[in-house]
Structure 1
Amino acid sequence: MPRPWKPGQKVTPDTLRDCLDILAKVIGRKGGEKYVPLYLRIERELDAMQEQLSAYQRILKRAKRLNHPQA
């Protein structure tokens, strides 16, 4: 079940996944194919967000290693 989201709250990967779930249901109905471009856009946004979060985690790991080198 989608989590409640309110305007002004940060959009997270879970928010986008919830949107994709809702859109999948809508697209599965008669006439829903017109929403496929929106689904694809949200998918791209989710991929980009996950890539950025992954990069951020790798950067923090590297920075920690550089700030605390092993003796």
Structure 2
Amino acid sequence: MADIQHPAVTPFSVLTPRERDVMDYVARGKPNKIIAAELGVSQRTIEAHRARIFQKMQVRNAVELAHCVLAQRN
């Protein structure tokens, strides 16, 4: 029987591509207003993305998120 390998599931893999975009901005300390302007969406949309990202990544704030992002990249 062939061994089927499944891609590794990481906290980042559950994020949508747009959530990953927003996560990168948040991890770099960018405010919602700037993220919204650069991505061409409303601040409310960014707030919704942030809430889902924090929930999916199981973090409480942007500092914890940045720590996870940096830890993953090293």
Q: Could you tell me the TM-score, scaled by structure 2's length?
A: 0.34
Structure scoring higher RCO (CA < 8 A, sep ≥ 6) equals: 2
Structure (1 or 2) with the greater helix fraction: 1
Task: Kindly name which structure, 1 or 2, has the bigger radius of gyration based on alpha carbons.
Answer: 1
Q: Could you tell me the TM-score, scaled by structure 1's length?
A: 0.35
